Amino acid sequence: MSAIRILRGEYRGKTIKNQSFSLVSGFQTGARGGYVTVQNNGTFPNCPATIRIRVDAISDYEMINGDTIEQNTPVAKVSSFTVETEEQAMTRIRERFEILTEMSKACIGGDIRAMIVSGPPGVGKSHGVEQEIEKATLFDKIAGKRLRAEVVKGSATPIGLYQALYKYSDPNCVLVFDDCDSILLDDVALNLLKGALDSGKKRKISWLSDSNMLRRDGIPDSFEFKGSVIFITNLKFDQMKSQKLRDHLDALQSRCHYLDLTLDTMRDKVLRIKQIAKDGVLFADYDFDQIAQDEIIDFMGINQNRLREMSLRMALKIADLRKSFPLNWKRMTETTCMKAA
Ligand X SMILES: Nc1ncnc2c1ncn2[C@@H]1O[C@H](COP(=O)(O)OP(=O)(O)OP(=O)(O)O)[C@@H](O)[C@H]1O
Binding residue (CB under 6 A) for ligand X from 9, 34, 122, 227: 122
| 295 torsion bin: left (phi>0), alpha (psi -120 to 50), beta (else) | alpha
Q: Does 281 bind ligand X (CB under 6 A)?
A: yes
Q: Does 26 bind ligand X (CB under 6 A)?
A: no
Neighbouring residues of 205: CB distance < 8 A, sequence distance ≥ 6 = 162, 165, 192, 195, 196, 222, 223, 225
Q: Does 123 bind ligand X (CB under 6 A)?
A: yes
Neighbours of 119 (CB within 10 A): 23
Question: Which residue's Cβ lies closest to ligand X?
Answer: 124
Largest CA distance in the chain: 67
Q: Does 184 bind ligand X (CB under 6 A)?
A: no
Neighbouring residues of 66: CB distance < 8 A, sequence distance ≥ 6 = 3, 81, 82, 83
Q: Does 151 bind ligand X (CB under 6 A)?
A: no
Q: Which stretch binds ligand X (CB under 6 A): 73-81, 123-131, 143-151, 163-171?
A: 123-131
Could you tell me the smallest distance in angstroms from the CB atom of residue 85 to ligand X? 22
Could you tell me the smallest distance in angstroms from the CB atom of residue 121 to Mg ion? 7
Site string for ligand X, 220-259 (x = CB under 6 A): --------------x-------------------------
Q: Does 53 bind ligand X (CB under 6 A)?
A: no
Could you tell me the smallest distance in angstroms from the CB atom of residue 70 to Mg ion? 33
Q: Which stretch binds ligand X (CB under 6 A): 29-37, 116-124, 197-205, 317-325?
A: 116-124
The β-bridge relationship of strands 149-153 and 174-178 is: parallel
Paired with 115 in beta bridges are: 230, 257
Taking the CA atoms of residue 223, residue 225, residue 229 and residue 231 in that order, the dihedral angle to the nearest 10 degrees is 40
From CA 186, how far away is CA 236, in angstroms rounded?
16
Could you tell me the smallest distance in angstroms from the CB atom of residue 275 to ligand X? 9
Could you tell me the smallest distance in angstroms from the CB atom of residue 186 to ligand X? 20
Residue ranges in contact with ligand X by CB under 6 A: 119, 121-127, 179, 234, 276, 281-282, 312-313, 316
